[in-house]
């Protein structure tokens, strides 16, 4: 299928520094693309450019065959949804209200008839139905992330961007969220998701893009891209890629005896248990 979203020679320069350079990328409907790379590689900046929130210094982005800058704000909001890395505070809003905000692009359209149904379904799919009445700022980081995911689902866009959506989630919710992302892709959505956990990227993405120093170093199937050699170089730390039960598992190499022993100076139970693990 042809590309729904494409970046052509994208570069971003901020205060004289090249944050992104020469990025070419295509995303097709039905595809989950994982964007990985070290801190500061430019992943969030690239997501901003791809979603049309940030204008590139060089190159351009096309959405549905038309330059993204030519789409109206309303049209963009119906085409693509973004779950940002940093959750807004949404001061004073309850979880259900935050999720309902995802429906605002559909206000006064026939799709608005489904608002109630979609909000309820999105709360359930992100596993926040039990938190619906809670005030957003009082939630834990992981609960806030799941609420933002529910809002993204409620927006019902054919293109979704997620910036480190699993960073604050426990294992069950990580798997659940990426399972829902895969379902959305199987229903035809195009998804770009920034992930730090390379084993999760291997398990759930159709393609993995590795960004380092603002440049796309690799773009391909997880098994082709996630090699010990490339990851060791890009992350500046020795990395092993193991095969377990048909899955790729990416682990940092640790020198024997590197783990610090429990220190006798710990003064509280918590410190003692932290240093003992």
- Per CB under 6 A, residues contacting ligand ADP are 14-15, 19, 37, 39-45
Residue 81 touches which of ligand ADP, Mg ion, none (CB < 5 to 8 A by kind)? none
CB of 43 to Mg ion, least distance (A): 5
Residue 45 touches which of ligand ADP, Mg ion, none (CB < 5 to 8 A by kind)? ligand ADP
CB of 51 to Mg ion, least distance (A): 13
Decide whether 48 or 102 has the Cβ nearer to ligand ADP.
Answer: 48
CB of 264 to ligand ADP, least distance (A): 38
Name the nearest CA neighbour of 93 among 133, 127, 51, 141: 133
E-only strand ranges, the chain? 5-14, 17-27, 32-36, 58-63, 66-67, 80-83, 159-163, 190-194, 207-212, 215-220, 239-244, 247-252
Chain positions 79 to 118 lying near Mg ion, rule: CB under 5 A, are: 85
CB of 208 to ligand ADP, least distance (A): 15
- Taking CB under 5 A as the binding criterion, the range among 26-34, 44-52, 154-162, 225-233 that sits at the site for Mg ion is 44-52
Name the nearest CA neighbour of 47 among 167, 198, 37: 37
CA angle at 215 for the pair 209 and 220, rounded to the nearest 5°: 25
Rounded to the nearest angstrom, the gap between the alpha carbon of residue 194 and the centroid of all alpha carbons in its chain is 4
Burial class (CB in 10 A: 0-12, 13-18, 19+), 17: exposed
Decide whether 143 or 164 has the Cβ nearer to Mg ion.
Answer: 164
- Applying CB under 5 A, which residues contact Mg ion? 43-44, 85
């Amino acid at each position: 299928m042809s590309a729904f979203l494409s970046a052509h020679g994208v570069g971003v320069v901020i205060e004289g520094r090249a944050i992104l350079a020469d990025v070419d990328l295509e995303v097709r409907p039905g595809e989950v693309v994982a964007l990985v790379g070290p801190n500061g590689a430019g992943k969030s900046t690239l997501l901003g450019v791809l979603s049309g929130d940030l204008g590139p210094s060089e190159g351009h982005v096309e959405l549905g065959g038309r330059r993204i800058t030519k789409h109206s704000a309303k049209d963009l909001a119906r085409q693509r949804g973004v779950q940002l890395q940093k959750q807004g505070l949404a001061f004073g809003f309850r979880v259900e209200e935050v999720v309902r905000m995802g429906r605002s692009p559909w206000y006064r359209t026939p799709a608005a008839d489904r608002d109630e149904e979609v909000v309820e379904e999105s709360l359930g799919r992100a596993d926040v139905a039990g938190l619906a009445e809670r005030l957003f700022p009082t939630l834990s980081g992981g609960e806030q992330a799941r609420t933002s995911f529910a809002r993204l689902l409620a927006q019902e866009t054919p293109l979704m961007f997620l910036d480190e959506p699993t960073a604050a989630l426990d294992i069950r919710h990580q798997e659940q969220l990426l399972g829902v992302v895969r379902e959305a892709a199987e229903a035809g959505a195009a998804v770009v998701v920034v992930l730090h956990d390379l084993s999760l990227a291997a398990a759930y993405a159709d393609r993995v893009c590795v960004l380092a120093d603002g440049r796309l170093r690799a773009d391909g199937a997880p098994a082709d891209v996630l090699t010990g050699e490339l990851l060791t170089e890009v992350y500046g730390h020795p990395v092993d890629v193991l095969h377990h039960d048909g899955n790729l598992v990416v682990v940092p190499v640790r020198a024997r005896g590197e783990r610090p022993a429990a220190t006798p100076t710990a003064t509280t139970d918590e410190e003692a248990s932290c240093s003992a693990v």
